[in-house]
């Protein structure tokens, strides 16, 4: 039996998504910028996808810009907005637990002369709105805080952060990396003071290589890709039509029977967390309250066992998890997120992430707990020798 518990890295493509993508590949092969019927057919499909993506956000489809994924969307949000506002100030605020596509973009802004403030978190991985508010200054032009942390599942207080930012100044832009939040929560950028919001198709059972950036109407942003005038010149390049169609369908599916699916996910997650805590010497990381945590991410530390060793031992049993963010799993440095929540290098190096989806079955989690119960004593005994 194969048990896939790495859905925060990527999800399987839903069958319904695959069908619509195949139809787009076979029939709607026109370029949406072309003026003939094939072009207009493709343009109509792109318009439908924008409507599907925008609807859960209560956004105007015209505020949706398709990208190659979450990384490009985050780069466009940070680099494009900060550069556009450089005359007004040079201060940017992010959290210490952001995805590398945000933290690395902030590093680039620092090289360009921006002052970057990185906010710490508490032991659960949550940013303090009070600390963020205290960091705001007349020079602040952009704040970027993720909706859900991709490693420990902490749901950041973006609604309160947005309120604090806009109470301080309406001129400060607020970006939310919602790659792990879109499809898991009901998001409302206009209500919550969010000017820019990023998401990715392959986290919600859509295809890889497609994502989007929501840009609130009248927010000015500089492009980071030049050439064509597609998507109002904000994101040049011929649109990935099969990917766009797939993303649109995945978004529609994610918010169909939403409350029932999310409640079931939380139940599975809590069952698994309780089972992990019943194992000998295992620590579960991140918030436990539903209102403070995502329904699909479980982080656990297994003292005395290196994460790579445990990963491969589980893989030998057909169980797939991860040692953290897939985008940073090849790096030798310790995760900034695990440092931020107070884990030592040793404990961070003994931490795994398990991430669920709507396809995950309770029996799969029971089998995983049984495998861990068997493996941990053996691996710890081997380590002590």
pLDDT band for 137, please (50, 70, 90 cuts): very high
Three-state SS for 212? Answer: strand
Q: According to the model, what pLDDT value does residue 41 have?
A: 80
269-304 exposure pattern, b = at least 16 Cβ within 10 A, e = fewer: beebbebbeeeeebebbbbeeeebbbbbbbbbbbeb
Q: Is the pLDDT of residue 219 over 80?
A: yes
Q: According to the model, what pLDDT value does residue 324 have?
A: 63
What span, in angstroms and rounded, lies between the C-alpha atoms of 168 and 138?
9
Q: Which phi-psi region, left, alpha or beta, contains residue 190 (left: φ > 0; alpha: ψ -120 to 50)?
A: alpha
User: Using alpha carbons only, what angle is made at residue 322 by residues 317 and 323, rounded to the nearest 5 degrees?
Assistant: 120
What span, in angstroms and rounded, lies between the C-alpha atoms of 100 and 224?
18
DSSP H helices in the chain: 15-26, 37-54, 70-75, 81-84, 100-111, 129-135, 158-168, 189-192, 241-254, 258-277, 307-315, 336-340, 345-348, 362-384
What span, in angstroms and rounded, lies between the C-alpha atoms of 328 and 364?
26
Q: According to the model, what pLDDT value does residue 371 have?
A: 98
Q: Is the pLDDT of residue 328 over 70?
A: no
Q: Which of 187, 18, 148 is nearest to 70 (CA)?
A: 148
Q: Is the pLDDT of residue 385 over 60?
A: no
Q: Is the pLDDT of residue 332 over 70?
A: no
What length does the chain have?
Answer: 385
Catalytic residue flag (residue 327): yes
Q: Is the pLDDT of residue 175 over 60?
A: yes
Average pLDDT over residues 321-348: 79
Mean pLDDT over the full length of the chain: 94
What span, in angstroms and rounded, lies between the C-alpha atoms of 385 and 383?
5
Q: How far is CA 369 from CA 174, 227, 272, 290, in A?
A: 40, 52, 8, 22
**Residue tagged active-site, from 327, 347, 367, 369:** 327
Q: Is the pLDDT of residue 360 over 80?
A: yes
Q: Which of 256, 253, 148, 261 is nearest to 207 (CA)?
A: 253
Q: What domains are defined for the chain?
A: 3-11+257-384 (3.90.1150.10), 15-254 (3.40.640.10)
Q: According to the model, what pLDDT value does residue 329 have?
A: 47
DSSP conformational letter for 131: H
Q: According to the model, what pLDDT value does residue 132 have?
A: 98
pLDDT 10s digits, 48-97:
999 999 999 999 999 999 999 999 999 999 999 999 999 999 999 999 99
Q: Which strands make up the sheet holding 173-177, listed edge to edge?
A: 64-67, 211-215, 196-200, 173-177, 140-144, 91-95, 115-119
Q: What is the maximal distance between C-alpha atoms in the chain?
A: 72
User: Which tokens hold the place of 82?
Assistant: 């900060």
pLDDT 10s digits, 147-172:
999 999 999 999 999 999 999 999 99
Q: According to the model, what pLDDT value does residue 29 have?
A: 77
Q: According to the model, what pLDDT value does residue 327 have?
A: 52
pLDDT band for 331, please (50, 70, 90 cuts): low
Cross-strand pairs, 200: 211
pLDDT 10s digits, 337-352:
999 999 999 999 999 9
**Minimum mean pLDDT range among 35-49, 204-218, 350-364, 370-384:** 35-49
CB atoms within 10 A of CB 318: 12
């Amino acid at each position: 039996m194969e048990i896939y518990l790495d859905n925060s890295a990527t999800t399987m493509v839903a069958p319904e998504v695959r069908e619509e993508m195949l139809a787009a590949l076979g029939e709607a092969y026109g370029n949406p910028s072309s003026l003939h019927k094939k072009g207009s057919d493709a343009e109509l499909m792109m318009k439908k996808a924008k409507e599907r993506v925008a609807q859960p956000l209560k956004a105007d489809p015209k505020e949706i810009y398709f990208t190659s994924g979450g990384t490009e969307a985050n780069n466009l949000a940070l680099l494009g907005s900060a550069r556009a506002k450089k005359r007004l100030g040079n201060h940017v605020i992010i959290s210490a637990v952001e995805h590398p596509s945000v933290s690395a973009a902030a590093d680039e802004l620092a090289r360009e002369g921006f002052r970057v403030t990185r906010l710490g978190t508490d032991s659960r991985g949550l940013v303090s709105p009070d600390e963020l508010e205290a960091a705001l200054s007349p020079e602040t032009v952009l704040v970027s805080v993720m909706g859900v942390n991709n490693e420990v599942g902490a749901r950041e207080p973006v609604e309160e952060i947005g309120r604090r930012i806009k109470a301080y100044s309406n001129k400060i832009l607020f970006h939310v990396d919602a790659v792990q939040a879109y499809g898991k929560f009901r998001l409302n950028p206009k209500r919550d003071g969010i000017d820019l919001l990023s998401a990715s198709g392959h986290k919600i059972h859509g295809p890889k290589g497609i994502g989007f950036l929501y840009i609130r109407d009248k927010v000015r942003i500089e492009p980071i890709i030049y050439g064509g005038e597609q998507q109002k010149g904000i994101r040049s390049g011929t649109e990935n039509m099969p990917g766009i169609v797939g993303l649109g369908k995945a978004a529609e599916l994610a918010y169909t029977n939403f409350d029932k699916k999310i409640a079931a996910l939380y139940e599975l997650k809590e069952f698994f967390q309780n089972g992990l805590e019943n194992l000998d010497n295992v620590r579960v990381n991140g918030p436990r309250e539903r209102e403070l945590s995502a329904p699909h991410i479980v982080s656990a530390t297994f003292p005395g066992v290196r994460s790579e060793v445990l990963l491969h031992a589980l893989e030998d049993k057909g169980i797939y998890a991860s040692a953290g963010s897939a985008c940073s799993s090849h790096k030798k440095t310790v995760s900034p997120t695990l440092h931020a929540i107070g884990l030592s290098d040793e404990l961070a190096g003994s931490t795994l992430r398990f991430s669920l989806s709507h396809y995950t079955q309770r029996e799969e989690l029971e089998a995983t707990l049984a495998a861990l119960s068997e493996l941990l004593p053996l691996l710890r005994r081997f380590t002590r020798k």
